[in-house]
Amino acid sequence: MAATIRDIRDRTGLSLATISKYLNGGNVLPQNRELIEKAIDELHYEVNELARGLVTNKTKTIGVLVYDIECLFVGNMLHYLGRELHKHGYGMLISDSSNDEEMEAKNLQFLLSRKVDGIIVFAVSLNGTFLEPAKKANVPVVLIDRAFQDEEYDCVEIDNRTAAFRAVTKLVENNHRRIAVIASDIEYTGMERVKGYSDAVKQTGVQIPEYYRKFGRHSFELGYENMKALLQLPEPPTGVILGNYDTMLGGIMALNESGLSCPEDISLIGFDDLLMSKVIRPKLWLLVQPMQEMCIKAIEMLLKRINGGNEESPQKISYAASLREGNSIQKL
């Protein structure tokens, strides 16, 4: 026979009013919360989330809007978000925009129709206009890996511009002057990384021809096709910065097919210490994002908004990427 709220009362000695308040998301004394949660666990009491939602107007569900679920970085971030949300008793509803702004706007409406309590956004769009319906519905939003110029929303990202700057200077320190970049010039993170690349080129005084700058949307194909093109130049670069993880894998595939070697023929530096980067040889120099920290902070910010912290101005949290040492850069 299923346990009832009266069984919890008998087990804890607390009033039905206190237990009901806890079950409906209200504040109770810490010692009472501990007693109730222990009794729920021991009695295998099943909380009726649907009924609770009708009372509290909360569904304990967070919407996650992603720009491309096939992106390996996004997949890892979803893993960390799911784990962190579970700790707080929330579920996750994911909607993939497939790098399409129109689909992104429709997916937002879908999440709002499901009465999610808040939304984590990995945005396709470069501005926040499409999020107006969430604002009107008073549904909190936190951006990850993206920021908008108006900064009307809480945001967690890395300092992409400085990260790319460090990649260039690392190559310059090893006497490289022919430094190419393969990166996105149409997505926020890529655009920031391209700016950092340009900043470093200007500051170091290195003369870079335009054909060393290969742009598009970050993808395996972007890395593969453009690395092939760079290697076929009469004077190929001695070092290449690969603008994100998927792009990096494509670039390495093209290099492997060419018969050339890293770092003997060309030096590489990429982004993100994900699964495949651990088995690639030589060990790559990488700019590594603190993905778990970013997800924990994003959930912390979102839950604060959900629980009534709407008075504060939006926050922008920017983490530094760490530079992981490898063997993929040769000193010239």
Q: pTM surpassing 0.85?
A: no
Q: Say whether 176 sits in a helix, a strand or coil.
A: coil
Homologous superfamily in CATH for domain 160-289: Response regulator (3.40.50.2300)
- Cβ contacts of residue 83 below 8 Å, gap of 6+? none
- Does residue 273 contact residue 324 with C-beta atoms inside 8 Å? yes
Residue 161 CA: distances (Å) to CA of 9, 69, 79 = 57, 24, 26
Task: Write out the DSSP string of 219-251.
Answer: SHHHHHHHHHHHHTSSS--SEEEE-SHHHHHHH
Q: Tens place of pLDDT for every residue, the chain, 332 residues?
A: 677 888 888 888 988 888 887 777 667 888 888 888 888 888 887 766 555 554 556 778 999 999 999 888 899 999 999 999 998 889 999 999 999 999 999 999 999 999 999 999 999 998 889 999 999 999 999 999 888 876 688 999 999 999 999 999 999 999 999 999 999 998 889 999 999 999 999 999 998 999 999 999 999 999 999 999 999 999 999 999 999 989 999 999 999 999 999 999 999 999 988 766 677 788 999 999 999 999 999 999 999 999 886 667 888 999 999 999 999 999 98
Instruction: Give yes or no on whether 5-56 and 160-289 have one common fold.
Output: no
Q: What share of the chain is helix, strand, coil (3-state, %, to 5)?
A: 45, 15, 35
Parse the chain into domains and list their residue ranges.
Answer: 5-56, 61-158+291-319, 160-289
From the candidate CATH numbers 1.20.272, 2.30.30, 1.10.260, 2.60.40, the one assigned to the domain spanning 5-56: 1.10.260
Q: Does domain 61-158+291-319 have CATH number 3.40.50.2300?
A: yes
Task: Write out the DSSP string of 112-124.
Answer: HHTT-SEEEE--S
